[in-house]
Chain A
């Protein structure tokens, strides 16, 4: 992926772009401030930043797609013409033909009541009217084939809800390339997708770009995705550009303290795990209370007094490399705080089991139609687990693999169809009423979405007090103590959850889970919704709490790098079954199941030397319908090494003396 020199100046040039939104009270709130960059022909330019940094708003403003009321100033020159001031009719002719877009949510971005084919044909018809239906249909089928949608002729007449997430995003890409645009703007194109599907979609994007020679703007929060795909990168923070330049320069020699912190927050695949992650302290700025000077000054380790007042301009620090910080030079990593090492833990080998799951099945009855045959979705289909005191067991898998259903069944929120769950030796179903409620104290939960896991009508104090009140143990002092334990001030108690940022809300949820002094905490994607710098804070908090309180964690996640950092043992799930189970290093350094290998290789990595599997395996196809799983091995339909035997016989989860187990007839490595 080499940068090519522009043919005649830049393709798109953004000059001093600022965006403000009106807020109640008639004021304007500035969201984007003075952003400038340019995109050359044929290059991939990435805008990377955390949520709320303004990366999506920037490109929406460029295309004049912001909601009515937004005030946009500056210049956006596309081949020398200003998109911001041109006639709407002229702009309309550029949209979809010169510049096209791919959005984050492929389901809501497609019209639910129109067939797929006509939705793609529409973009051709707008810009090249007068073609016959047959010609349009043929061209659409060709495009669908190009982006890897199987049997395009049949798919033409289907509706969006009949497509999987990955297939819908392929449709969006087909639409975007239909008129061979100069520029494709891809706004978090794979964020809603699973990692193996993400790998497929990114491959499609690379292929179509190679075929059409378009430039691309890749908006993302995923640094690994940037490192693997972009030529040049701009890092946004608090509505401004913190740094921009050649991708390899910025990642190898970051100049802005924020970029340094951001890169270090990403769990390092090689780092020893007895150390904390390098989190950026504090909370991201909110447009309403941004400092007048540098937006990062409140969290910056090298900030000086003047930083809060004087806004630093983006200035060159090296050839084609600019940073908005007057105090650093590229590659100066000295400002990174030293990582604290975590206190050692007692050996796990002697520890008792706090949780045992044997032969667990959770099936959901399903009837197709009113008189249709009964069938069952086998969400969890024969799972065995052991969790020892003080251990973290990571459960990884993509959406639909049953990991969340497994968690909810263990929590007794869903009744199991079959099998045994013993918590501290007490099997499920053996307790009723008050005794059951007492037993439930031993196992507490932190969910993914901090918006949904805290009752919006309750104060933070009441939220943390709730478990104590249920069991009649409430004292105000205990609530304050719990808030302190997760790094929040007792004064936070009077406010509602809506006053807090995502990371702080997750701290509140952790405080509530700790209230009953549980032995086990089930962390269901507990850090997945958080930005990487905040995620590192919460991971550090969880690891410290585990050592201080002797907690055992069941850590359910789709994020492999976080699982690697936090887990002692890892179970990989696919379609309701555990396909590989073993010590962390067995799974990450010596994976044996082809699915584990594909999963690991699909994760975009920040540092090319990272990753356990050197060759990339891109899985073909989608996850099979869980109501109608394949015969034999459930993975065989997508497996690169499947043979006849796999269709006939389901492999058992067996393995080696060291406890590393895998369910494959033809293990790799």
Chain B
């Protein structure tokens, strides 16, 4: 397994087999005490992570920084392209060639879809995609899978309800494909204009699954084991009144949770903007902050594997 990971680019969840993802999740479990600061590690001492964030990010960037630092490595790069040669019009290809010479692994967040694949094309070092436009965000998918497995002991057979902007939501597409690969039962809840795109549905169906589609969260939430909530973006709606209507329909509050399963877990990639009422935070269902923490051990496992420190 280690030979397959060392030097590997992490661009899309589609590049991974189920066995490979399971291996990452297993190693991530072992990383938890280091991620929490309970144990010290020098696994990646002397290694440098080149961190290029062309778009703002809080959790992804900081959890990569934390993961690398906790394993004894160093981080260099930028968290906004202004001031860098990027702002002077340098191509991504040239910036990548430069950071490739300064670091051992590259983490890239970029507004254009396909940017990480392009970076992987020009870099000799492994490239980890930290989100490319509306495209892929494979480490988010892995930490989501990690969270479900941790809370539910397994992924297979769980009823996962995914609600929100399923059309443009970056995390939803790769997550739903991965969940199908692991044998979870999927239900997509969204207004018709924001339902999951046909090509993703086709991809899921090609794995032998038939997801359910619904517009009503209240109807399907009772049988859910996992409720995955995503943000509905205001800018997708030409009419603000229409946005208010849709956003209100899918708001998660204590009232909605009256008849749910006791062990339902609620996840959200964050940031949230009113999709989940803060009154839900103190219920045992709320797992979104644990989910955000889980980004650290998962990214530790990935960094360790692609740099050859973990096997």
A and B associate in one complex: no
Binding site for B on A (CB under 8 A): none
